[in-house]
């Protein structure tokens, strides 16, 4: 599949199934927003500008609330996701987030941000290493990048089912639900909502990583120094850009 076709299929997927799903009243309690508080990222240069790359429908609301003095660019392929985000911003009075519909692989920022969040995005790109290079270029020296990438071992069942659905040409959620019921698979975790089920099992482009592959990906961009890797349900990585 050509890269341009793959990106278009991903865009169509998120326009059909904006991710993640939360009710309109969801905004999280203040103490629950610590992970999106840039102060907790320990960025020595401080944070004036941040980029939420592949922002989805809600995360910039959380970042904007917890970091009201930071100028935030929130970009996504999906027009539908950005429209939902716009309504959330209006509902909660979040004015420090600028929305942009753009393809990460066509972004051309140069040392524009002190912090970048790219959570669960690189593994849906045709070329994750190219995406990582673009993120590194956009980051200022001593800035911090947070990534989340799929752990192959933790997602082996989801990926097995996703491949089965591809082989059966199943793309309708009602058929997916029937597929799960026939196999006695519980609708928990990623599968507990319609949108989560679509993201886990109907996504057109998914990469997963073992630890060795993850290390190779991160080492392919030498200007980034890995500060921390947390292997939770997926890999969460913090990288700092070298330089001064």
Just give the CATH number of 3-152+208-241: 3.40.50.150
* Bridge partners of residue 225, in order along the sequence: 240
The pLDDT of residue 1 is 61
Which two structure tokens, joined as six digits, stand for 170? 């199943």
How buried is 62 (Cβ within 10 angstroms: 0-12 exposed, 13-18 middle, 19+ buried)?
buried
The pLDDT of residue 190 is 85
The pLDDT of residue 189 is 86
Which two structure tokens, joined as six digits, stand for 208? 């997963």
The pLDDT of residue 33 is 84
pLDDT digits (tens, 9 = 90+) for 129-172: 999 999 999 999 999 999 999 999 999 999 999 999 999 999 99
pLDDT digits (tens, 9 = 90+) for 166-199: 999 999 999 999 999 999 999 998 899 999 999 9
Domain ranges for the chain: 3-152+208-241, 156-201
pLDDT under 50 in the chain at which residues? none
User: H helices within the chain, ranges in order?
Assistant: 3-16, 59-66, 79-92, 128-138, 156-167, 173-182, 194-201, 211-219
């Amino acid at each position: 599949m050509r890269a341009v076709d793959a990106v278009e299929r991903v865009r169509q997927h998120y326009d059909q199934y904006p991710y993640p799903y939360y009710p309109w009243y969801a905004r999280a309690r203040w103490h629950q927003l610590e992970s999106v508080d840039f102060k907790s990222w320990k960025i020595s240069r401080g944070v004036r500008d941040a980029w939420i790359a592949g922002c989805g429908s809600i995360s910039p609301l959380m970042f904007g609330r917890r970091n009201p003095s930071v100028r935030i660019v929130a970009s996504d392929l999906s027009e539908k996701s950005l429209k939902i985000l716009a309504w959330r911003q209006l509902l909660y009075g979040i004015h420090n987030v600028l929305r942009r519909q753009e393809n990460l692989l066509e972004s051309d920022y140069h040392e524009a941000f002190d912090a970048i969040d790219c959570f669960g995005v690189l593994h849906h790109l045709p070329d994750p290493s190219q995406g990582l290079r673009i993120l590194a270029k956009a980051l200022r020296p001593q800035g911090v990048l947070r990534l989340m990438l799929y752990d192959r071992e933790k997602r082996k069942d989801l990926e097995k089912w996703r491949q089965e659905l591809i082989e059966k040409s199943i793309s309708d959620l009602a058929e997916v639900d029937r597929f799960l019921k026939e196999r006695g698979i519980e609708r928990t975790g990623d599968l507990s909502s319609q949108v989560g089920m679509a993201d886990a099992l109907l996504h057109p482009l998914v990469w997963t990583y073992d630890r060795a592959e993850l290390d190779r990906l991160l080492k392919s961009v030498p200007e980034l120094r890995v500060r921390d890797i947390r292997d939770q349900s997926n890999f969460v990585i913090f990288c700092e850009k070298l330089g001064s």
